[in-house]
A and B are shown apart, each in its own frame.
Chain A
Amino acid sequence: MLAYILKRLAATIPVLAVVAFVVFLLIRIVPGDPAAVIAGNMATNEDIARIRAELGLERPFLAQFALWLAGLVSGDLGQSFFFKQDVIALIAGRVGPTLSLALVTIVLTVLVAVPLGTLAAWRHGGLLDRLLMGLSVAGFSIPVFVIGYLLVYLLAMRIDLLPVQGYRPLAAGLGPWLQHLVLPSITLSSVYVALIARVTRASVAEALTEDYVRTARAKGLPEWRVLVRHALANAAVPIVTVIGIGFALLVGGVVVTESVFSIPGLGTLTVDAVLARDFPVIQGVILFFSLLYVLINLVVDLSYVALDPRIRY
């Protein structure tokens, strides 16, 4: 097991190296002097000269990358000229709302999509099944921001049920925190529910054709027990895998959802940074989310051991 973890960790190194290289390249593909790009519009000549020295722009290309990578590994993501702050401090300050939104969304998605997918597989071809499949195509097709504004219109403006926009930190109390997250997480979960319901349905349907399900039914187990303990438990691995892969999809949704609901998280930060052409922040956000994606999929891989006793590393 330990050997596997180490091997799996080692396998993330080339992935992260490629991510770092792409992010490093980003500033070099902007037309103009990289130092001026990083320094921003308000920079003085001294600022640019200082940054040029920091970047080692007179050195060979790969040496510049090595220099930048060394800074990265020691936790230096550079300075934001626009927000006048360390990029890493800036990201740390914005992580709370984004993680809250992502967590509530994942919990909501699993609570909705897994039971629905299981029921659809149980009554394969039935009314619920066809309805769910139709809705899941719609979930893939209707943009997150259209759903967001529709919900705002119906639930916040028409009947004044929930706050339209904004965010309250958890420190302000569980009630307001959750209340401000209800609409955003329903919005964000639309794509995710479609994806996970589909996969749950497919893998539960496959498990239901197995011999052990027939055996379980033959020995007189109640149907819900057959579904949960035998079919769903055996379908867990692909479902968890897709939750991990779907994280990339979730990040895309986070940027849009935060923008619709004015949530001051990393998504809003990204949009502000792009509008201000603040490249160190853009780089930092990409690095952060990519690292998170790699880590989540690492955890998913390791969770197979717990989910499926047949898997031993």
Chain B
Amino acid sequence: MRAAAHRVLANGAARFGLTVLLVLCLVALAAPWLGTVDPAWLDAVNMNQKPLTTVEWTGPDNQTAPRTLWMGTDSFGRDVYSRVVYGARVSLVVGIAVALVALSAGTVCGLLAGYFRAIDAVLMRVMDGLMAIPGILLAIALVAAWGASLATVIIAIAIPEIPRVTRLVRSLTLSIREEPYIEAAISVGTPTWKILLRHVLPNAIAPLIVQGTYVCASAILLEAILSFLGLGLPSEIPTWGNIMAEARVTFSQHPHNMLFPGLLLSATVLAVNLLGDGLRDTLDPKFMKRTEGARR
């Protein structure tokens, strides 16, 4: 375990990705103490201010004081810096939660399909069907059906990711179950659930972690897309996607409102992807072969 951690940290891409993500997590957690105001607060006097201007700003406590607007204000007079900092919370929570949900559901399905022939045929046909539906459309449709909240957005983005995880775990299970130690475990009468949890699952962990980072990256992108199209979380909860959605209207005069959330979003997804590539190269060198070079 410790050796694996050392190998990962020796990898430049993984180290870079991890550092960026740690900083972002700290920023998201410490959002109220980073000189932000309530992200939903609007000061109608200061609409559409350019970045780095210092204005007389009326805060939520109705006190007017000079304030430097690092990223300017949007067309409602809300502080873009505060919205972008708070927006990091949604992206990170969605990314991590989707990865956890998709990995857990996919692992259960994959273990069952890989170990029990009877379940395999039916379950994999269902997964093939789910994979034929473009993920983004399925997520959009599910959010439309359930209404947009943090929980529904997470579930809606996780569902299209499940088949891919299932396939991965199934193929790992199929090869692991042929190993001599499984045969040994069966011959001494180990119950099946224990074989799956104690012998099969631990040997699938490394590829699962790698897959999890890619799921996380695409979940962050997909959440931003949903918000950007106006189908995601309502604008009381700032997300990078809905900040950019609101910036579209005034884009020709005030392109900066698109710039900052866009930069942070790209940097975050890049960091997750680099972490994933680093983990893949150090923990699971066979990954590329197994997925035939295609990542999604």
Contact, CB under 8 Å: B137 / A18 = no
In contact, A18 and B294 (Cβ under 8 angstroms)? no
Q: Are A251 and B270 in contact (CB under 8 A)?
A: no
Q: Which of A22, A144, A274 contacts B144 (CB 8 A)?
A: A274
Q: Chain A nearest CB: distance from B17 CB in Å?
A: 10
Cβ of A249 under 8 Å from chain B: yes
Question: Interface residues of B, CB < 8 Å — how many?
Answer: 49
Query: Which one, A14, A29, A153, A259, contacts B145 given CB within 8 A?
Result: A29
Give the size category of A's interface with B. Answer: 35 or more
Residues from chain A with Cβ under 8 Å of B222 in the complex: 252
B61 at the A interface (CB under 8 A): no
The secondary structure that dominates the A interface is helix
A149-B258, A248-B134 known; A157-B228 Cβ under 8 A: no
* B229 engages A19 (CB within 8 Å): no
Report if B165 contacts A (CB, 8 A): no
Chain B residues with Cβ below 8 Å from A153 are: 251, 255
Assembly CA distance A195 to B218 (angstroms): 14
Given A202-B293, A252-B225, A137:B273 Cβ within 8 A: yes
Distance in Å: Cβ of B122 to nearest Cβ of chain A: 9
B294/A195 in contact, CB under 8 A: yes
Closest Cβ of chain A to B143, distance in Å, is: 8
Q: Which of B202-224 contact A (CB under 8 A)?
A: 217, 221-222, 224
- Interface hub of A30, A248, A294 (most chain B Cβ within 10 A): A248
Query: B271 to nearest A CB, angstroms?
Result: 8
Instruction: List residues of chain A with CB within 8 A of the CB of B145.
Output: 26-27, 29-30, 279
Q: Are B270 and A138 in contact (CB under 8 A)?
A: yes
Name the contact of A143 in the complex, choosing from B129, B262, B294 (C-beta under 8 A). B262
Q: Would B293 and A199 count as touching, CB distance under 8 A?
A: yes
Once the chains are docked, how many angstroms separate the CA of A199 from the CA of B295? 10
B201: interface (CB < 8 Å): no
For A137, give its contact among B141, B225, B274, B288 (CB under 8 Å): B274
Is A141's CB under 8 angstroms from B288's CB? no
| The one of A15, A202, A238, A249 that contacts B132, using a Cβ cutoff of 8 Å | A15
Instruction: Enumerate chain A residues within 8 angstroms of B126, measured Cβ to Cβ.
Output: 18
| A282, closest chain B residue (CB) | B141
Sample of 11 more A-B contacts, CB < 8 Å, known A19-B133, A137-B274 = A18-B128, A140-B269, A144-B225, A150-B262, A199-B294, A252-B137, A256-B225, A277-B144, A279-B145, A290-B133, A293-B134
Q: Residues of A with Cβ closer than 8 Å to B?
A: 14-19, 21-22, 26-27, 29-30, 137-138, 140-146, 149-150, 152-153, 157, 195, 198-199, 202-203, 238, 241-242, 245-246, 248-249, 251-252, 255-256, 259, 270-271, 274-275, 277, 279, 282-283, 285-286, 289-290, 293-294
